[in-house]
Structure 1
Amino acid sequence: MQTLKRLSFFLALSLIFWTCTPKTGQKTTETAPQPPTPPAVEEPAKVENTAENDGIIEVIFLQINDVYEIAPLQGGKVGGVARLATLYQQLKEENPNTLFVLSGDFLSPSLLGTLKYQGNRIKGRQMVEALNAAGLQVAIFGNHEFDLKEGELQARLNESGFMWVATNVRHMVNGKPEPFYKEVGGEKRQLPTAFIWEVRDADGTTANIGLFGVTINSNPKDWVYYSDPFQAAQDAAAKLEPVANVVVGLTHLELVQDLKLAGMLPQVPLLMGGHDHDNSIDTVGSVIVAKADANAKTAYVHRMKINTHTGEVFLRSELVPVTAAIPDDPGVKGIVDKWQRIQDEIIGQVVDDPYAVVYHTDVPLDGRESSIRNGQTNLGAFIAAAMANAAKKPVDGAIFNSGGVRIDDQLQGDILAIDWFRVLPFGGQLWEIDIRGSLLQKVLDIGQENKGTGGYLQWHDIQPGPGGWLIKGQPLEPDHVYHIILNDFLLSGHETGLGFFTEEHPDVLKVDKPASGEDARYDVRKAVIMWSRRF
């Protein structure tokens, strides 16, 4: 099990540094260590080479990012936190100086997170418990961590046995940015803005490895403050360099931002990134920028050799598929199975066989937020077509808000019934309405104005034309009454810019709601599953 040691500070240093020193040969079986109390401010000890060591030390980073599911996906073929736990143990056996890191996005979104258990939404509890047991050591915030409410995020921080690094993210308290914290034994411990991982090998060579973590500011909340990630990373690296043999970064940024940052930090050999969901590896000068696939379909293993005499760093990065070839860790699998039973019991109330294959696609169905909240995607079109198919009488079109799609990923290959619950975890009913054309036009216009947010609309048999909206290929007529099917939330008045759009509006002339669970309109996921089975 990793233990954490205090690292002393420069008097002028504004960063909070923690050190992490692994014990050779000791395995993590339950949780990663709790961070220590922030250390006192004093002069840092320098790394000295002695006659006992050769000045060469090797370390390993196990990197994952954007992990929303604890169980394997695609019928058990890929992913799974229990497999990650085994991979981590295998790497530790190869080299005890192994650091297991997560580059943001894991508390949300997920199907399990939206379900209620013991009276409360789960909201990432399953992720923290499983990752604690798997031995995760360091995580940073992703944009989706702030999907949670303020109190929910605090609860997850308190439960986490791993360290969080927050270089450019602060907690707004009474209008003032302060460090986030986690409570340990009733004590509030501030999250560090950076830390030093202190390592030693068998021949006595020691090294200090500095690490910072920056997050994209794409999920604004009034209780979250983001400083500029580029300046924050530069400042952190500059303050780490005097006390570290090498500095590396964890990032949750868009790839173009990562590449820009790499150009700004030529002395940082490795940026371990997240936010993008497809694996990539790029080189900017001598800086490696690496991202694994979302949901732990793959993990990056970075083997680094440091020459403490010359300062040279040698890096070899390997993308490792996380498949059934890696056995499950029994302890972590027990935790995963527990949460899966909870999930299946709840979903079983809607669909009989959650793990039945209901559809197959060789073309990825795009549910990534960067896509579906900015334009029409094939996944959005599929869902809207399923809604139209579920209607009791022919409709002129179907609309729904893209924020209902929470998978932030692509679907490909065999699609299981439960996958549609992952795509649409909030569910909700489908309502058929008679709506005057003038109101429909206003709703569609605002949907377009909501581009970039969950209020952007996906549709079926509706499209913008050069002279205005087209309904079934014909220009929208303001005085005409259209028969439309939509999700119930969209008619609640709670969507961005659509506070007026409720069933009480005088231009909503009729609302037809499902009467029972036998009606496919009773749950949008049921309607999509029925549509999927037609192909």
Structure 2
Amino acid sequence: MKKKTALARREALLALAAVLASGCATTSPATPPAPPAGSVRLTLLHLADVYQVQAVDDGQRGGMARAATLRKQVLRDSPHVLTLMGGDTLSPSVESLVEVDGQQLKGRHMVAAWNALGLDYAVLGNHEFDFGDDVLRERIRESRFTWLGANVEDTKAGGLFTGVKPYAVRELGGIKLGLFGVVLPETKTTTKAGKDTHFGDVCEAARGAVAKLREDGAQVIVALTHQTADQDRALTRCVKVDVVLGGHDHEALEDHTTGTPIFKVAADAVDLGRLTMDVDSATATVRQVVWQTLPVTRQLPEDAEFNAAMQPYAALFSKLSERVGRTPVALDARAAEVRTRETNLGSFVADAFRAAAGADVALVNGGALRADAVLPAGGVTRRDLHSILPYADELVVLEVKGDTLRAALENGVSLSREDSRPGRFPQVSGMEFTFDADKPAGQRVLGVTVGGKPLDAAATYRLATLSFLASGKDGYDMLKNQPTTPAMVNGHSPLDVLAEAFRTGTPSPHAQAAGRISRRGSGALAPDARQPPAPLK
């Protein structure tokens, strides 16, 4: 989900003001300059990292029904249009864990939404694999659009992942447009992808796809990617394409540093990206590229056809508005915070897990906490709850030696300098530790205490954590094959544990981070940076 920063909010307000001033809130959005004579204009609409159907920011921005309206406005003005999606939508969708007819949706509603919108192509995102391979195959079968993933292989069957294509060619206005998709290779260790699913080298897969596209007559080639901006830049150095449309970063981007334009949109459909490519009709040379982000705001009416198609899920959206408890303080759930330092939300979740499991210590990876916002003090809804913990995990207790616990912490901070937002970063309870990000990975943890006493390497500790980490994902290989038992004999999930904590006020969240994690080195954070800001309105 998107980061709510003051800058982003200011830019959104400016964009909204521009739309209102131009009178484009309910009419067709402004079109780019006229195409050069003798050229064909191709229009690509782009969304990525869309985790919910409804609007965000208290209904102010986003909403797929509004995006559907905007798309139709563009279709009326532009004859050659494709609608694309840059991955990550089945999970961690806020609604995916809600049950309908006794079964969790697991992204079924998101596929229904994309079908209703009129999506043409999507690249697989890393989070498409969060519910496992079988669920993803089912979602692909339900899709009326094409999933791309040139580097996603089924090693058992000896081909690409079932239902996925490496590339596609579409003729628009007499121009053959080629598209291919790639997803970041680390998906294997950060999701629940199956043992037979392999994520190959992006460069190699891209070269193969482009060669095949050229053989099939593609004149203009677009890479549809789900990886970081740096990985996208590396891709453009590896293979020649005309443009890259990406996802995964959750932030808007326009980058021309490598000579190949790279474009991304912010998450949750708060903007609709519009790329126009004017292609010489005689030589198929791209003569002009214009990128725009069209704000999706409450000024846009919701598309009636889209809402009619989504009517079977209306009760689900209403259920998410139910209040489950309250928090006496604002909780910092911003991704940039929970993935880099201790936050009061991280400590609260870890405390709740440790208390429910009766464990000595608890560890939760920051990447599991997905709300990416500052949750204000006051009532907590079911939607808030699902936005914090949108994964289908179990709470488990592991019997681990002290040296294994230390190794887990080392893994948690192993990317704290090299990767600005590592999902493996640990939020903890029952222990404190200090680390130095300037030291080599594996040697960063300087000291650990458990219950106020120095960590004993030979002692056994009861560790409460998520089954995802206990299976060795996100680099936590040292937790695999440790003695493990379910933490909740009543079958309650981590989501149930958190709901009970909000309902009862026990444990109570702290107003700020409690000083459990101390960071040293050049990447050390200013003390006041740990204070959660006032929530944005």
* Alpha-carbon distance between aligned partners in 2 of 1:128 and 1:475, rounded to the nearest angstrom: 50
- What is the 5 A alignment of 1:23-34? none
Q: 1:421, CA displacement in angstroms?
A: 2.0
Q: 1:227, CA displacement in angstroms?
A: 2.7
Of 264, 289, 314, which aligns to 1:315?
289
* Alpha-carbon distance between aligned partners in 2 of 1:109 and 1:55, rounded to the nearest angstrom: 45
- Using the size of structure 1 for normalisation, the TM-score is 0.70
Assess, with a 3 A threshold, how the Cα gap between structure 1 residues 344 and 489 changes in structure 2: closer, same or farther: farther
- What is the 5 A alignment of 1:132-151? 132-151=115-134
The corresponding residue for 1:128 is: 111
Corresponding position: 1:377 with 2:351: no
* Alpha-carbon distance between aligned partners in 1 of 2:499 and 2:465, rounded to the nearest angstrom: 11
Secondary structure at the counterpart of residue 296 of structure 1: coil
- CA deviation profile, 1:440-467 (whole Å, cap 9, x unmatched): 5643433534667977642146333465
Q: 1:289, CA displacement in angstroms?
A: 0.4
Does the 8 A contact of 2:97 with 2:386 survive in 1?
no
Secondary structure at the counterpart of residue 167 of structure 1: coil
* Alpha-carbon distance between aligned partners in 2 of 1:208 and 1:241, rounded to the nearest angstrom: 10
Corresponding position: 1:446 with 2:408: yes
Q: 1:439, CA displacement in angstroms?
A: 4.1
Corresponding position: 1:222 with 2:185: no
Does the 8 A contact of 2:251 with 2:266 survive in 1?
yes
The corresponding residue for 2:17 is: none
Does the 8 A contact of 1:165 with 1:213 survive in 2?
yes
Corresponding position: 1:272 with 2:245: yes
Q: 1:525, CA displacement in angstroms?
A: 3.5
* Alpha-carbon distance between aligned partners in 2 of 1:328 and 1:128, rounded to the nearest angstrom: 18
The corresponding residue for 1:159 is: 142
> Partner letter of residue 289 of structure 1?
I
> Partner letter of residue 134 of structure 1?
L
Of 76, 85, 92, which aligns to 1:102?
85
Larger Rg computed on CA atoms:
1
> Partner letter of residue 482 of structure 2?
F
Assess, with a 3 A threshold, how the Cα gap between structure 1 residues 359 and 61 changes in structure 2: closer, same or farther: farther
What is the root-mean-square deviation of aligned Cα atoms in Å? 4.1
The corresponding residue for 2:530 is: none
Corresponding position: 1:83 with 2:48: no
The corresponding residue for 1:328 is: 302
The corresponding residue for 2:175 is: 207
> Partner letter of residue 347 of structure 2?
A
Secondary structure at the counterpart of residue 293 of structure 1: coil
Of 363, 368, 389, which aligns to 1:424?
389
Does the 8 A contact of 1:387 with 1:485 survive in 2?
no
Q: 1:106, CA displacement in angstroms?
A: 1.2
Of 432, 456, 465, which aligns to 1:463?
432
> Partner letter of residue 249 of structure 2?
D
* Alpha-carbon distance between aligned partners in 2 of 1:307 and 1:212, rounded to the nearest angstrom: 22
Assess, with a 3 A threshold, how the Cα gap between structure 1 residues 210 and 283 changes in structure 2: closer, same or farther: same
* Alpha-carbon distance between aligned partners in 1 of 2:175 and 2:313, rounded to the nearest angstrom: 40
Deviates more, 1:61-70 or 1:464-473: 464-473
Q: 1:404, CA displacement in angstroms?
A: 7.9
> Partner letter of residue 214 of structure 1?
V
Secondary structure at the counterpart of residue 111 of structure 1: coil
Does the 8 A contact of 2:183 with 2:226 survive in 1?
yes
The corresponding residue for 1:295 is: 268
Please list every run of 5 or more consecutive structure 1 residues that lacks an aligned counterpart in the other structure: 1-52, 183-190, 201-205, 505-510
Does the 8 A contact of 1:150 with 1:223 survive in 2?
no
The corresponding residue for 2:373 is: 411
Please list every run of 5 or more consecutive structure 2 residues that lacks an aligned counterpart in the other structure: 1-35, 189-193, 416-421, 435-444, 513-537
Assess, with a 3 A threshold, how the Cα gap between structure 1 residues 265 and 521 changes in structure 2: closer, same or farther: closer
Q: 1:489, CA displacement in angstroms?
A: 5.5
> What is the total number of aligned residue pairs between the two structures?
441
Secondary structure at the counterpart of residue 87 of structure 1: helix
* Alpha-carbon distance between aligned partners in 2 of 1:170 and 1:146, rounded to the nearest angstrom: 13
Secondary structure at the counterpart of residue 410 of structure 1: coil
Assess, with a 3 A threshold, how the Cα gap between structure 1 residues 478 and 98 changes in structure 2: closer, same or farther: closer
> Partner letter of residue 431 of structure 2?
I
> Partner letter of residue 133 of structure 1?
A
Assess, with a 3 A threshold, how the Cα gap between structure 1 residues 287 and 89 changes in structure 2: closer, same or farther: same
Percent identity, aligned pairs only, is 24
Corresponding position: 1:304 with 2:277: yes
> Partner letter of residue 279 of structure 2?
I
Secondary structure at the counterpart of residue 320 of structure 1: strand
- What is the 5 A alignment of 1:24-103? 55-103=38-86
Q: 1:146, CA displacement in angstroms?
A: 1.8
- CA deviation profile, 1:345-364 (whole Å, cap 9, x unmatched): 4x68xxx5269897657xx6
* Alpha-carbon distance between aligned partners in 2 of 1:391 and 1:247, rounded to the nearest angstrom: 51
Does the 8 A contact of 1:304 with 1:316 survive in 2?
yes
- CA deviation profile, 1:233-273 (whole Å, cap 9, x unmatched): 2332234346233211111121111112223345x231000
Does the 8 A contact of 1:168 with 1:214 survive in 2?
yes
Assess, with a 3 A threshold, how the Cα gap between structure 1 residues 86 and 429 changes in structure 2: closer, same or farther: same
Of 268, 282, 300, which aligns to 2:255?
282
Corresponding position: 1:180 with 2:161: yes
The corresponding residue for 1:193 is: 166
The corresponding residue for 1:353 is: 323
* Alpha-carbon distance between aligned partners in 1 of 2:97 and 2:501, rounded to the nearest angstrom: 19
* Alpha-carbon distance between aligned partners in 1 of 2:405 and 2:363, rounded to the nearest angstrom: 11
Assess, with a 3 A threshold, how the Cα gap between structure 1 residues 493 and 159 changes in structure 2: closer, same or farther: closer
Assess, with a 3 A threshold, how the Cα gap between structure 1 residues 319 and 81 changes in structure 2: closer, same or farther: same
Secondary structure at the counterpart of residue 383 of structure 1: helix
Secondary structure at the counterpart of residue 68 of structure 2: helix
* Alpha-carbon distance between aligned partners in 1 of 2:301 and 2:117, rounded to the nearest angstrom: 13
Of 465, 482, 486, which aligns to 1:500?
482
Does the 8 A contact of 2:91 with 2:127 survive in 1?
yes
Q: 1:478, CA displacement in angstroms?
A: 6.8
The corresponding residue for 2:33 is: none
